Structure 1
């Protein structure tokens, strides 16, 4: 059983006057935040405010870059060249970093969002493009991803990785997530989610959508902020982990 684990959530995913999650209260519970950088959500005011609140709570700050797909929330396929992906990710790292550095803080990690993140797990070209952006920008950044191509490429290039496990998403037998367009992709029963999180952290196992157990070996648990009741869920998950003797700490403090 592990001694430490990180709890992360996607943050800053509103735009203008619109918000979709209770980031203010989530930031009092999680240990790391993946902050949207303007391509799928977020704007300068939201980025500045989210960074400020994250710092107030001692939360590790990560960039959450995506395809340039504001209308589709970064969840649509885009046929981009590796150079386009590298430069798009660099652009977003730079944007968020401006707000972080102006507050005398530093970026902890990068966590690719949506379809870009999905493709980077299975497509080596996208994985290499993202890793190149990280190496050009700051090789000390932790790459938060699922098992797959991005994790492999990052390690090949000497980058730190944090394997992400998902609190409220269903898994397939190959260890990937069930697509959100399919039934039962998101688990809404909070007691079930909490039990799954504890089992992933303590036993390194999770039950798939077909009922089969598979192994998971991650460093960080993602609780999605846009899931109904996410703040209460994050609190329950954190408390259950603490009761198992697992301390919740941001990645850079122990990884």
Structure 2
């Protein structure tokens, strides 16, 4: 059944050593939700605060984007954490971001783990539980997750709302997981492919994997990465095509 609206989210606030990796201001004119870095994989308080002010100005819903404490690898390599340590770090990151958000006219409304942590909790039960425990220690915020992973069932059993998401610019394996960024075909670069992906999710609730397998995703949100080459222009194309088809861009929150 065709959807009349879809949430578009982007990973923002990821300035590192004074160098922005995305055009946050431009992205925030088009997305409805922003996964804002919490300082562990990227970002520092002053630049994060600027992104949060822009979120408030554009009415964009703010989500915390907690990660492994690993700026050197941008949070994209697996770390075998103690679950208790990971849970505390998740709570810490959400709390720090929420404090900055409230100081700048908004608040944290959901949580989306970043990078290797996001991918790990698709199958790693101990880390999935740690993320859930870390979120619940702060409050019962919704979790934005990849459909089909163990974290989805565990979070729902723990009483958390799960928002399932799809990726506009990432290729999928036939099992519904994301193609590893170590592979050349992990990321979609053709704007037409990205637009087609978002329309497929919004209109049919499905995604075509790299090998041609059609996957049912039932996604309420679609992620478009702000640090991809040509990200702003690709997102403009997506938003224009959605508007042509009468599909509103609207936050799930």
- Fold match, TM over 0.5? yes
Provide the residue aligned with 1:101 in structure 2: 102
Query: Aligned runs of 1:123-134 on 2, under 5 Å?
Result: 123-134=124-135
| In 2, Cα distance between equivalents of 1:90 and 1:76 | 20
- Determine if the alignment matches structure 1 residue 59 to structure 2 residue 60: yes
Counterpart secondary structure, 1:67: coil
| In 2, Cα distance between equivalents of 1:229 and 1:53 | 21
Q: Deviations over 1:130-183 (max 9, x none)?
A: 1111111011x1100102122111111111111110001001100110001012
Provide the residue aligned with 1:230 in structure 2: 231
RMSD of equivalent CA atoms: 1.1
Q: Is the 8 A contact 2:49 2:104 kept in 1?
A: no
Counterpart secondary structure, 2:9: strand
Counterpart secondary structure, 2:90: helix
Q: Is the 8 A contact 2:40 2:71 kept in 1?
A: yes
Q: Deviations over 1:190-242 (max 9, x none)?
A: 01110121011111222111122222210101000011111111121122122
Task: Kindly state the Cα deviation for residue 245 of structure 1 after the two structures are TM-superposed.
Answer: 2.2
Provide the residue aligned with 1:146 in structure 2: 146
Q: Is the 8 A contact 2:56 2:105 kept in 1?
A: no
Q: Is the 8 A contact 1:15 1:46 kept in 2?
A: no
173-182 or 11-20: which moved more?
11-20
Provide the residue aligned with 1:249 in structure 2: 250
| In 1, Cα distance between equivalents of 2:33 and 2:236 | 14
Task: Kindly state the Cα deviation for residue 104 of structure 1 after the two structures are TM-superposed.
Answer: 4.1
Provide the residue aligned with 1:176 in structure 2: 177
Report the TM-score, using the length of structure 2 for normalisation.
0.96
| In 1, Cα distance between equivalents of 2:106 and 2:225 | 24
95-104 or 167-176: which moved more?
95-104
| In 1, Cα distance between equivalents of 2:217 and 2:252 | 18
Count of aligned pairs between the two proteins: 251
